[in-house]
């Protein structure tokens, strides 16, 4: 226990420290920082291995407001995950960013981001959580806007940040309500007290989590976030930032009311379906993956809503590996396309095709991770998704609400289709450009191989079709009493396999190299039918944001007009009348009060002059006065005595 | 005994001379004239003394007037000496311009 007390602050601070060290060293920044993160990963492994009882650390900040961290098995495991993915991303970036002059800034930002995320995961008090929640938002803003010199990218970063802020405002409101209503202010106390929050507080937290996890209606920011470097997308979308919302919901779900959980389930299902539809028609290799991330996060959220949060955490875990693998593979493809021809858009799938032969390692990594995403048996994604589908099916049976499971199953089929489409379009077909630069370097190969390998089933469960066989299940949920009714149902199992295979089959039929659609794809433009448009524009969510922004700017300009025309006029009137009154008072003061005073002064001056005139230096006048006085005295004695 | 002159005439005469003396003392610029005015005022008083002493068998008035004449002579001689020195020193005789004691 004492060892853990020593290593947890180290784990907490190492990302920041290695970011600073790396950021100060211009040439070797990423390598230096990777060493630091590797050491942190080692410590995190020790933490996961040794942790038994939750560590709770708290100290007072303000009256009745504490700073607090707690480390239990769940967040220890997630911290390990963050370290692992961050390290892989850094190693990958050594090659990916080698020509970038701002490597040091990149390293520092990565370190800061990992630090904020680990702080968020370790937080126990809601105030601390909110603090790191905001830090994560800010550091992701810094990373998305890494190439801030390009106006479009910095604009995208700003938009992503602002959308997050809207949701964060609700989270803050929720935290404030928790304080005002006198609920326990930390996760551990909330869990221990067993008190349920009122519905509105729950909704505030849910909106906050939906914002960070890019759920409807906030998912627009995640596609904006693609403006950042691709390894950053792997980091943000796979393991870290977007899972913060899922993590928060897992933590607070015991305190939520039933209808709140229903909102979560329906929101997650709707998002999963919408994003899967939006991923169908994208041209941008990263946008497909971004929508797929939104869709998979929808699954996790849905899982929490239906009570299958173990499966959600499991999905979070497996998704982190295969989605990081997909993004890094996509990064490798983009890197290659960029080196090949910098004038073309390196992310547009219309320019790709046939990369299978040129980038074999990338291809196999993408294939395995993509099939894991689609949910084929013997891969990790199947296991965790199966758990969520089973949970949603059972929930549908018990509540009679079959919308959620139906959407979840539709999404399973769509997922297989869009990822199959992407694999076929990027890696198959004929090569339309000259070959160059055969294989990516070892720093690119190692993370890809590692992530692809961890997407196989045996890292997670011995039984390739039992979602409850997850090795970490006993470790994480032993004290919560792992529920036994979530073993796979045969119908769900068969249904999901059939849907996945049919999705892949349709994708193969439509986009196999010989097919019409696959050949026409390279010259295709944006879809024109309504359904295609809705999908391509991601349900017009960004247009929707624009409308809201326009509405708000109208309100703001209206308020500005009112301010200028009415309030300013009024204020000006008050000011002018003040000046007028002051002038009148000034005139009165100058002419009446001062006049009186001056009058008195001049009287005394007159008297003074009169009296001093006796004291003349002219001797004859003095004599005259003398005589006059004598005369007066004489007359006085003569007539008045 | 010669006929008595009405005393009112004496009083008015001496009053006139006295006032003329005062006027000269106050008005004239030259210190010499101021001295002359003072002489006039003294002698106006003498005139009264001499006239009214005829009713006094002790002749005190006449005696006083002789004293006054002596006093006047002494005073004039001192005053003239001062004036002469002032004139030598400052080349002025106007008392108004003697302002070196001022301030």
Tell me the residues of B at the A interface, defined by beta carbons under 8 Å apart. 22, 25-27, 34, 95-96, 99, 102
- pLDDT tens profile A217-238: 888 888 888 888 888 888 887 7
Under 8 Å between Cβ of A215 and A301: yes
Which pLDDT band holds residue A434 (cuts at 50, 70, 90)?
low
Residue of chain A whose Cα is closest to the Cα of B33: A620
- Helix, coil or strand: residue A232: helix
A388 and A490 inside one domain: yes
Task: End-to-end CA distance of chain B: give it in Å, rounded.
Answer: 62
Query: Which residues of chain B does A623 touch, with a Cβ-Cβ cutoff of 8 Å?
Result: 25-26
A576 and A613 inside one domain: yes
Top residue of A618, A621, A627, A628 to mutate, by most chain B CBs within 10 Å, is A618
- Helix, coil or strand: residue B61: helix
Q: What percent of chain A has pLDDT over 70?
A: 95
> For residue A637, is it within any domain?
no
| Residues of the domain holding A585 | 545-631
pLDDT at B77: 93
Residue of chain A whose Cα is closest to the Cα of B103: A617
> For residue A223, is it within any domain?
no
pLDDT at A121 over 60: yes
pLDDT at A577: 95
A351 and A275 inside one domain: yes
Whether B26 sits inside 8 A of A624 (CB atoms) is yes
Residue of chain B whose Cα is closest to the Cα of A628: B22
Which pLDDT band holds residue A580 (cuts at 50, 70, 90)?
very high
Name which of A617, A618, A623 is nearest B25 (Cβ-Cβ): A623
Top residue of A619, A626, A631, A634 to mutate, by most chain B CBs within 10 Å, is A619
Whether A620 sits inside 8 A of B95 (CB atoms) is yes
A441 and A588 inside one domain: no
Decide which of A539, A565, A600 is a domain's last residue: A539
Task: End-to-end CA distance of chain A: give it in Å, rounded.
Answer: 121
A493 and A363 inside one domain: yes
pLDDT at A445: 82
A575 and A528 inside one domain: no
Under 8 Å between Cβ of A233 and A225: yes
- Helix, coil or strand: residue A124: coil
CA of B1 vs chain A CAs: smallest distance (Å)? 36
pLDDT at B69: 92
A530 and A565 inside one domain: no
Tell me which H or E stretch contains A56.
strand A55-62
pLDDT at A488: 62
The β-bridge partners of A66 are A60
**Least trusted range by pLDDT, from A59-73, A126-140, A184-198, A339-353:** A339-353
Whether A620 sits inside 8 A of B96 (CB atoms) is yes
Decide which of A510, A539, A568 is a domain's last residue: A539
A468 and A521 inside one domain: yes
A338 and A363 inside one domain: yes
- pLDDT tens profile A377-431: 888 888 888 888 888 888 888 888 888 888 888 998 899 999 988 888 888 877 7
Residue A361, CA distances (Å) to A333, A348, A427, A498 in order? 11, 21, 11, 29
Instruction: For residue A241, give the nearest of A359, A398, A383, A134 by alpha carbon.
Output: A134
Residue of chain A whose Cα is closest to the Cα of B99: A617
A612: contact with B, CB 8 A cutoff: no
User: Could you tell me the two tokens for A268?
Assistant: 């997650």
A466 and A533 inside one domain: yes
- pLDDT tens profile A34-90: 888 888 888 888 888 888 788 888 888 887 788 888 888 888 888 999 999 899 888
pLDDT at A482 over 50: no
pLDDT at A559 over 90: yes
Whether B96 sits inside 8 A of A619 (CB atoms) is yes
Q: What are phi and psi of A58, to 5 degrees?
A: -145, 140
Q: What's A256's DSSP letter?
A: S
* Count of the separate structural domains present in chain A: 2
Whether A627 sits inside 8 A of B96 (CB atoms) is no
pLDDT at A28: 81
Q: What angle do CA A485, A486, A491 make, to 5 degrees?
A: 110
pLDDT at A484: 47
pLDDT at A449 over 80: yes
Query: Which residues of chain B does A620 touch, with a Cβ-Cβ cutoff of 8 Å?
Result: 25-27, 34, 95-96
pLDDT at A481: 46
pLDDT at A581: 96
Instruction: For residue A271, give the nearest of A141, A411, A119, A132 by alpha carbon.
Output: A411
Can you give the pLDDT of all 103 residues of chain B as single tens digits?
A: 456 778 888 899 999 999 999 889 888 888 888 889 999 999 999 988 888 888 888 888 888 999 999 999 999 999 999 889 988 888 877 777 777 766 5
Which pLDDT band holds residue A599 (cuts at 50, 70, 90)?
very high
> For residue A45, is it within any domain?
no
Please state the rounded mean pLDDT for residues A276-295: 88
pLDDT at A478 over 70: no
Decide which of A521, A539, A557 is a domain's last residue: A539
User: Could you tell me the two tokens for B2?
Assistant: 């010669």
Q: What angle do CA A414, A416, A417 make, to 5 degrees?
A: 60
CA of A617 vs chain B CAs: smallest distance (Å)? 7
Architecture in CATH for domain B10-93: Orthogonal Bundle (1.10)
A627: contact with B, CB 8 A cutoff: yes
A610 and A510 inside one domain: no
pLDDT at A437: 60
ipTM over 0.90: no
pLDDT at A607 over 90: yes
A492 and A597 inside one domain: no
Name which of A617, A618, A620 is nearest B25 (Cβ-Cβ): A620
Residue of chain B whose Cα is closest to the Cα of A620: B26
Which pLDDT band holds residue A456 (cuts at 50, 70, 90)?
confident
Query: Which residues of chain A does B96 touch, with a Cβ-Cβ cutoff of 8 Å?
Result: 617-620
Mean pLDDT of chain A: 85
Under 8 Å between Cβ of A615 and A625: no
pLDDT at A433: 66
Q: Which of the pair, A309 or B100, is modelled with greater confidence? A: A309
Which pLDDT band holds residue A193 (cuts at 50, 70, 90)?
confident
Query: Which residues of chain B does A619 touch, with a Cβ-Cβ cutoff of 8 Å?
Result: 95-96
Residue of chain A whose Cα is closest to the Cα of B24: A620
CA of A627 vs chain B CAs: smallest distance (Å)? 9
Please count the other Cβ atoms lying within 10 Å of the Cβ belonging to residue A612. 9
Name which of A617, A620, A624 is nearest B99 (Cβ-Cβ): A617
> For residue A93, is it within any domain?
no
Whether B26 sits inside 8 A of A623 (CB atoms) is yes
> For residue A316, is it within any domain?
yes
Whether A620 sits inside 8 A of B99 (CB atoms) is no
Each domain of chain B, given as residue ranges in start order, spans 10-93
Name which of B22, B34, B96 is nearest A627 (Cβ-Cβ): B22
Q: What are phi and psi of A123, to 5 degrees?
A: -60, 140
A615: contact with B, CB 8 A cutoff: no
pLDDT at A235: 87
pLDDT at A172: 93
């Amino acid at each position: 226990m004492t060892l853990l007390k020593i290593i947890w602050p180290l784990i907490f601070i190492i990302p920041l420290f290695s970011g600073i060290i790396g950021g100060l060293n211009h040439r070797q920044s990423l390598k230096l920082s990777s060493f630091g993160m590797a050491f942190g990963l080692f410590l995190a492994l020790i933490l996961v291995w040794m942790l038994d009882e939750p560590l709770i650390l708290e100290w007072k900040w303000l009256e009745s407001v504490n700073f607090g961290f707690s480390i239990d098995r769940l967040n220890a495991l997630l911290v390990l995950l963050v370290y692992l993915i961050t390290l892989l991303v850094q190693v990958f970036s050594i090659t990916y960013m080698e020509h970038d002059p701002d490597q040091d800034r990149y390293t520092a930002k990565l370190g800061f981001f990992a630090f904020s995320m680990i702080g968020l995961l370790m937080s126990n008090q809601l105030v601390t959580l909110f603090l790191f929640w905001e830090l994560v938002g800010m550091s992701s803003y810094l990373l998305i806007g890494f190439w801030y010199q390009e106006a479009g990218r910095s604009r995208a970063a700003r938009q992503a940040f602002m959308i997050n802020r809207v949701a964060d405002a609700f989270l803050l409101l929720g935290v404030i309500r928790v304080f005002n209503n006198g609920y326990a202010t930390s996760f551990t106390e909330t869990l221990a007290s067993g008190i349920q929050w009122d519905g509105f507080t729950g909704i505030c937290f849910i909106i906050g989590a939906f914002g960070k996890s890019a759920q409807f209606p906030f998912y627009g920011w995640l596609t904006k976030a693609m403006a950042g470097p691709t390894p950053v997308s792997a980091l943000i979308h796979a393991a870290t930032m977007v899972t913060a919302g899922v993590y928060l919901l897992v933590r607070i779900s015991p305190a939520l009311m039933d209808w709140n959980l229903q909102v979560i389930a329906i929101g997650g299902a709707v998002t999963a379906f919408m994003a899967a539809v939006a991923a169908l028609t994208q041209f941008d290799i990263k946008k497909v993956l971004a929508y797929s991330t939104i869709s998979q996060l929808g699954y996790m959220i849905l899982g929490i809503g239906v009570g299958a949060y173990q499966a959600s955490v499991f999905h979070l875990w497996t998704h982190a590996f295969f989605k990081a693998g997909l993004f890094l593979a996509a990064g490798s493809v983009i890197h290659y396309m960029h080196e090949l021809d910098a004038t073309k858009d390196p992310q547009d799938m219309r320019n790709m095709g046939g990369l299978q032969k040129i980038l074999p390692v990338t291809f196999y990594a993408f294939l395995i991770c993509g099939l894991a995403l689609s949910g084929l048996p013997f891969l990790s994604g199947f296991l965790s998704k199966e758990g969520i589908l089973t949970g949603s099916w059972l929930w549908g049976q018990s509540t009679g609400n079959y919308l959620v499971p139906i959407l979840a199953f539709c999404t399973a089929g769509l997922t297989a289709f869009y990822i199959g489409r992407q694999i076929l379009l990027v890696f198959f077909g004929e090569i339309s450009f000259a070959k160059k630069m055969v294989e990516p370097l070892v720093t690119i190969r190692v993370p890809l191989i590692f992530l692809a390998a961890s997407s196989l089933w045996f890292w997670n469960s011995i039984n390739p079709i039992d979602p409850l066989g997850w090795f970490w299940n006993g470790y994480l949920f032993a004290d919560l009493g792992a529920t036994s009714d979530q073993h796979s149902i045969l119908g769900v199992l068969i249904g999901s396999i059939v849907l996945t295979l049919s999705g892949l089959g349709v994708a193969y039929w439509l986009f196999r190299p010989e097919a019409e659609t696959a050949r026409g794809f390279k010259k295709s433009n944006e879809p024109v039918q309504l359904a295609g448009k809705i999908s391509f524009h991601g349900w017009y969510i960004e247009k929707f944001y624009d409308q809201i922004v326009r509405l708000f700017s109208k309100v703001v300009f209206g308020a500005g007009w009112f301010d200028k025309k009415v309030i300013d006029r009024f204020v000006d009137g008050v000011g002018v009348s003040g000046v007028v009154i002051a002038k009148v008072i000034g005139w009165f003061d100058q002419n009446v009060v001062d006049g009186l005073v001056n009058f008195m002064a001049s009287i005394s001056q007159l008297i003074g002059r009169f009296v001093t005139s006796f004291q003349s230096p002219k001797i004859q006048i003095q004599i005259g006065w003398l005589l006059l006085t004598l005369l007066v005295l004489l007359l006085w004695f003569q007539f008045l005595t | 005994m010669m006929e008595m002159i009405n005393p009112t005439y004496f009083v008015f005469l001496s009053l006139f001379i006295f006032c003329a003396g005062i006027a000269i003392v106050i008005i004239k610029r030259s210190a010499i004239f101021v001295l002359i005015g003072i002489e006039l005022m003294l002698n106006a008083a003498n005139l009264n003394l001499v006239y009214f002493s005829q009713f006094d068998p002790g002749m005190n008035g006449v005696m006083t007037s002789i004293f006054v004449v002596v006093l006047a002579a002494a005073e004039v001689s001192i005053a003239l000496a001062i004036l002469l020195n002032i004139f030598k020193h400052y080349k002025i005789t106007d008392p108004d311009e003697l302002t070196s004691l001022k301030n």
